[in-house]
């Protein structure tokens, strides 16, 4: 235990030195400003939160940094990650858990890093009409509408009914290390529903599960729900709103209501690429920061972004569907449209800064559900976060933008030690402090903690 405290003190001391250098505007990386590599190909998945890449391209922020970028949609998250790792893509829109999972070997093992968080929030959990009809019986109502947030306690009644009828309750998410997987599991467990465990002998994550969760690519979610293959899903936009427009399902909760202002996607590159092209990396981050600023600057910019995203080479969904969540509202049941100004956040609240505490939260969820099969000391979480998340690169880019008059110093958390203050706004009221990952895990009734392991298969 004493060793762990020393590890953390050394880690935080290193961070303090880093923050001080950043605050002084000292370039932490190479002084040469010309990008080492100028022609770049970046990948993305057809989701609204690819917007920073699209905007950086369309508004010529990449061009301003001397970069000639090609954007290419990818079939799914696995293909995307594999193509970054093997060098077919220079970098990509990624799930926040992908660089972490790849680095520690959850699935494909390769050192992947991130210096830029692309957004906060942006996901929802949708259920079929059949499930919603049953859920509504157990939800508190006001003026004929459910009182939000809708907790999974109501869904538990439906899951129990399925079980009594000998039916399996199935839900979809987009990838094993996705935000969606962890948010869905968090919401279910907060309502007393066991979402299942991963183990070395069960890569499906369905051991001891009340609900069987499996992978479905985002654009296929509505059709899979409509076919009855799954009874609900967790996904990013526009695929929750698509269910509303098609009349096939109802979004019951957003991730903003599960965990207020949660980090969602990141821009990821391999460690080898980052080491080889440090100036190019900084230039990319500068362009993406400017895109985030632009997206959050005005409602008019959001509407322009909606039109860009609706193009077939980007998200390719109807602009009306995309606008339903990108412009400050969110529609649950048809006609139940509610204000949700922070459903998509691209720059406010230091959204683009790569916090170590964000990385550690994802690692705690990997441990909670068995993807990390054995207990780890706190120092391990800190070390992995430091290897994967690169605030030094981010602050170098930010300081250059400030020096160029393209941003204000107050736009960035220059004095941050890489940890957010303890976060309280989770649906179950459990407080998360990234400085105490094992203490955090011990707070949950459902989930692995300490030296617990999973035995057997689903």
Pair 251, 191: CB distance under 8 Å: no
At which residue do the structure tokens 């406010």 appear? Answer: 348
Strand, helix or coil for residue 455: coil
**What is the value of pTM for the model shown?**
0.92
Residue 160 makes CB contacts below 8 A (sequence gap 6+) with none
In tens, the pLDDT along 19-32 reads 444 443 434 444 56
Between β-strands 265-270 and 91-95, what pairing exists: parallel, antiparallel or unpaired? antiparallel
Pair 241, 325: CB distance under 8 Å: yes
User: What are the helix and strand counts (H, E) for the chain?
Assistant: 19, 18
CA 204 – CA 218 distance, rounded (Å)? 18
Handedness of CA 423, 428, 430, 433 (dihedral sign): negative
CA 179 – CA 184 distance, rounded (Å)? 8
- The DSSP-derived string for 201-260 is TEEEEEET-SSEEEE--GGGHHHHHHTTS-SEEEEETTHHHHHHHHTSEEEEEEHHHHBT
Pair 185, 205: CB distance under 8 Å: no
DSSP state of 169: -
Give backbone dihedrals phi and psi of 302, rounded to 5 degrees, phi first.
-60, -40
Q: What is the pLDDT along the chain (458 residues), one digit of tens a residue?
A: 444 444 444 444 444 444 444 443 434 444 568 999 999 999 999 999 999 999 999 999 999 999 999 999 999 999 999 999 999 999 999 999 999 999 999 989 999 999 999 999 999 999 999 999 999 999 999 999 999 999 999 999 999 999 999 999 999 999 999 999 999 999 999 999 999 999 999 999 999 999 999 999 999 999 999 999 999 999 999 999 999 999 999 999 999 999 999 999 999 999 999 999 999 999 999 999 999 999 999 999 999 999 999 999 999 999 999 998 999 999 999 999 999 999 999 999 999 999 999 999 999 999 999 999 999 999 999 999 999 999 999 999 999 999 999 999 999 999 999 999 999 999 999 999 999 999 999 999 999 999 999 986 65
Nearest alpha-carbon partner for 93 in 59, 47, 62: 47
Pair 155, 191: CB distance under 8 Å: yes
| pLDDT at residue 5, rounded to an integer | 45
CA 52 – CA 203 distance, rounded (Å)? 33
Structure-block tokens of residue 361: 């939260």
For the chain, state the CA radius of gyration: 21
CA 25 – CA 403 distance, rounded (Å)? 9
Task: Choose which CATH entry (3.40.50.2000, 1.10.8.60, 3.40.50.300, 3.40.190.10) describes domain 123-262.
Answer: 3.40.190.10
| pLDDT at residue 345, rounded to an integer | 98
Pair 315, 49: CB distance under 8 Å: no
* Phi-psi category of residue 139: left, alpha or beta, with phi > 0 → left and psi -120 to 50 → alpha: beta
73 membership: H or E segment, kind and range: strand 68-73
Can you give the residue ranges of every domain in the chain? 2-121+263-440, 123-262
Give backbone dihedrals phi and psi of 319, rounded to 5 degrees, phi first.
-55, -35
| pLDDT at residue 378, rounded to an integer | 98
At which residue do the structure tokens 């965990």 appear? Answer: 259
Give backbone dihedrals phi and psi of 344, rounded to 5 degrees, phi first.
-120, 120
The CATH code for residues 2-121+263-440 is 3.40.190.10
Structure-block tokens of residue 386: 């430091």
Pair 53, 44: CB distance under 8 Å: yes
In tens, the pLDDT along 191-203 reads 999 999 999 999 9
HEC-encoded secondary structure of 402-456: HHCCCCCHHHCCCCCCCCCCCECCECCCCCECCCCHHHHHCCCCCCCCCCCCCCC
Give backbone dihedrals phi and psi of 44, rounded to 5 degrees, phi first.
-160, 160
Pair 44, 71: CB distance under 8 Å: yes
CA 119 – CA 349 distance, rounded (Å)? 10
Pair 20, 417: CB distance under 8 Å: no
Same fold, 2-121+263-440 and 123-262: yes
């Amino acid at each position: 235990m004493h060793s762990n405290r020393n590890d953390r003190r050394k880690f935080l001391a290193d961070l303090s030195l880093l923050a001080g250098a950043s605050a002084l505007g000292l370039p932490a990386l190479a002084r040469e400003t010309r990008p080492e590599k100028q022609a770049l190909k970046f990948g993305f998945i057809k989701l609204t939160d690819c917007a920073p890449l699209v905007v950086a391209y369309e508004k010529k922020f990449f061009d301003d940094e001397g970069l000639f970028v090609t954007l290419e949609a990818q079939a799914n998250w696995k293909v995307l990650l594999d193509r970054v790792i093997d060098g077919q893509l220079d970098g990509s829109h990624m799930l926040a858990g992908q660089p972490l999972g790849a680095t520690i070997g959850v699935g494909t093992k390769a050192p992947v890093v991130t210096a830029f968080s692309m957004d906060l929030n942006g996901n929802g959990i949708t259920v079929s009409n059949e499930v919603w009809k049953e859920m509504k019986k157990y939800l508190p109502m006001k003026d004929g509408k459910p009182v939000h947030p809708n907790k999974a306690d109501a869904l538990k009644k439906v899951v129990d009914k399925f079980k009594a009828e000998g039916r399996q309750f199935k839900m979809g998410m987009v990838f094993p290390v996705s935000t969606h997987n962890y948010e869905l599991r968090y919401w279910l467990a907060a309502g007393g529903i066991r979402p299942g465990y991963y183990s070395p002998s069960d890569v499906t994550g369905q051991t001891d599960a009340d609900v069987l969760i499996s992978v479905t690519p985002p654009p296929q979610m509505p059709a899979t729900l409509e076919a009855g293959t799954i009874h609900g899903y967790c996904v990013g936009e526009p695929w929750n709103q698509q269910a509303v427009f098609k009349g096939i399902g109802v979004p019951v909760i957003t991730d903003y209501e599960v965990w207020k202002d949660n980090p969602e996607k990141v821009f990821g590159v391999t460690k080898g690429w980052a080491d080889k092209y440090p100036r190019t990396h900084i230039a990319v981050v500068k362009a993406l920061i400017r895109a985030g600023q632009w997206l959050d600057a005005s409602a008019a910019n959001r509407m322009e972004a909606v039109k860009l995203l609706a193009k077939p080479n980007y998200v390719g969904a109807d602009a009306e569907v995309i606008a339903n969540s990108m412009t400050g509202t969110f529609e649950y049941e048809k006609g139940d449209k509610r204000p949700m100004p922070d459903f998509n956040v691209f720059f406010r609240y230091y959204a683009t800064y790569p916090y170590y505490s964000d990385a550690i939260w994802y690692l705690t969820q990997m441990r909670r559900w068995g993807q990390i099969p054995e207990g780890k000391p706190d120092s391990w979480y800190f070390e992995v976060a430091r290897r994967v998340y690169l605030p030094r690169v981010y602050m170098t880019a930010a300081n250059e933008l400030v020096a160029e008059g393209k941003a204000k110093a107050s736009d960035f958390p220059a004095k941050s030690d890489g940890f957010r203050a303890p976060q309280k706004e989770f649906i179950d009221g459990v407080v998360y402090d990234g400085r105490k990952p094992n203490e955090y895990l011990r707070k949950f009734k459902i989930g692995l903690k300490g030296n617990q392991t999973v035995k057997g298969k689903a």
